[in-house]
Amino acid sequence: MQIHTTIESLRAARAAAGKVAFVPTMGNLHEGHITLMRQAGERADAVIASIFVNRLQFGPREDFDKYPRTLAADCERLEAAGVAHLFAPDETVMYPTPQQYHVDPAPAHVSILEGEFRAGHFRGVATVVLKLLNIVQPDIALFGKKDYQQLMVLSNMVREFALPVEVLPGETVRAPDGLALSSRNGYLSAAERAEAPRLYRQLTAIRDAVLAGDRDFLKLETMAVAELAAHGWRPDYVTVRRRADLQPPAHGDAAPLVVLAAAKLGTTRLIDNLEI
C-alpha cells in the first residue's frame, strides 16, 4: 500500500489506478471500516482510502483534540484489507488557507435529528467530502449506513452537483451482541459496554412492532425513550422516519421507513438506526 500525504502524489497514483473505489474515514479504524474496504475492492481495480480528522465537522464542545489518532495500526489494517493507496494529509494540505467556501446542505435535511444537536456538523462533513471527491476523483464512493443522515446528505450532494461518482451504502457492522461498531465505543467503560446493546434492542423492538402492523409511532418512540432513560441513558431522540428524506411519515404513508436513535451513555453519545 502506498501512503500519500500530498494531493499531487495522490493524483499521480490515481491516474494510473484504473477504476477506483474510495472510502473516506477519520481513522481509528474498526471492522465496519474494513468491511467497506473489502466491499470497495469487489467493485473496482483499486481501493483508495483516506484518513483525515476533519476539524470543520466538530462543534466547539466536541472531541476533536481527543479523537484517537492511530495511523500505524490503521495502515496495517488497510494493507491487510487490500487497499492500494492511502491519502493521509495533514491540515496544511487540506486547508492551506482558512476554508471560506462551504457546502450548505438543504436546511430541511440538516436541521433535524443529528443536525439539531450538532449545529454545523453536516456543513463540515459535506465540505470535506466534496473536497476529497475532487482530489481523489473516484468512480465509486462508499459510506456506511450507520451514519444514516450523513449518507442521505452526501448522496443528495453528489446527485445535485452531478458529480461523476456512484455512491454505494454499506450495511452497519455489529458486534455479536448487536452494538453497532463505532470508534466512540472505545470511550465506554466496561459496565457501559455491557449496557450499550440496549439501544439496538429498542430499535429492533420498534421495527418488529411496525412490521407486525403497529403504526402508533409516537407510542413506540415514547416507550423506547422511557426504557433507555430507566437504565441510565440520556436519549436525544428515538424516531421513525421515511428513509428517503428522514421526515416523519404522514398518516397512511407507505414509504419505506427507518428508525433512528441517539442517546448518551455516561459521557459517550451513541447513534444507531435500523431500516424497517
Active site residues: 33
3-state secondary structure string across the chain:
CEEECCHHHHHHHHHCCCCEEEEEECCCCCHHHHHHHHHHHCCCCEEEEEECCCHHHCCCCCCCCCCCCCHHHHHHHHHHCCCCEEECCCHHHHCCCCCCCCCCCCHHHHCCCHHHHCCCHHHHHHHHHHHHHHHHCCCEEEEECCCHHHHHHHHHHHHHCCCCCEEEEECCCECCCCCECCHHHHHCCHHHHHHCCHHHHHHHHHHHHHHCCCCCHHHHHHHHHHHHHHCCEEEEEEEEEECCCCCCCCCCCCCCEEEEEEEEECCEEEEEEEEC
